[in-house]
Chains A and B, each alone.
Chain A
């Protein structure tokens, strides 16, 4: 991995994390339900975006752009650890149904979102 790629990952990852944090707070301030909506929306949107980026990038585009956008930004934007922790905490707090929903929901919707991103990416390439 080149130094430039690593720097791109760093900047992208930092931006992605900062975006996740800001968006998380923004959504959290407006939604007070028990379901971890912020993490859900962030992860699902990230899956969709990665589907698009990975599909479009198959042309062998600059690996630096991939490092920045995919590995960096989207990798930093989405999070698996927060997602599992929130689910476990909900369960331990007694909100079992919400916990199961919060764990299974993002997986189903996220995978569908990534598939949709792939389709959109293919359409974008064909256009």
Chain B
């Protein structure tokens, strides 16, 4: 367990938890009968993780430290299962059974849909970036047949070029 791997997890984890804590302070979303804030946080985090999964594991355009920082660290800490479980118990203790069932269902179904949406969005983003990068290479006269996937590792550093051509 190297420092190099733990550090981004710790740092990201701290930031993710802070983001969650600050958002949970907002009184706005407590008008719902169940903990809407936690639900939205978990759904957003799941969506983003779907995107990161595509970038890191499918397209492999993310460095492992970045992946540890964002996925394991930030998003892992931003979302929370314990609060979800506890809030459900609280609702049940208060005899708000319908709210409890709604909360669990919304979290479970919503979470799955959010991840799927994230994966779809991530794949679309990768394809779009690939097309832009591919065009960039063709436009620059580098005639060789380049598949969009080959140039994925340039995306992080050459984003400004892609943006200019878009």
Contact = CB atoms under 8 A, between A and B. Distances in A.
A90 to B, nearest CB: 11
A7 to B, nearest CB: 9
Contact of A21 (B16, B72, B92, B104): B72
Interface of B is mostly: helix
Size range of the chain A interface in the assembly: 35 or more
Contact of A14 (B17, B75, B80): B17
A97 to B, nearest CB: 16
Interface in B51-99: 53, 68, 71-73, 75-86, 88-89, 92-93
Interface residues of B, number: 54
A14 B69 CA distance: 11
Interface of A is mostly: helix
Given A1-B22, A12-B17, A50 B86 contact: yes
Interface string A55-77: 00000000000010001101111
Interface stretch (B5-13, B131-139, B140-148, B156-164): B5-13
Given A12-B17, A17-B73, A81-B45, A107 B9 contact: no
B79 A81 contact: yes
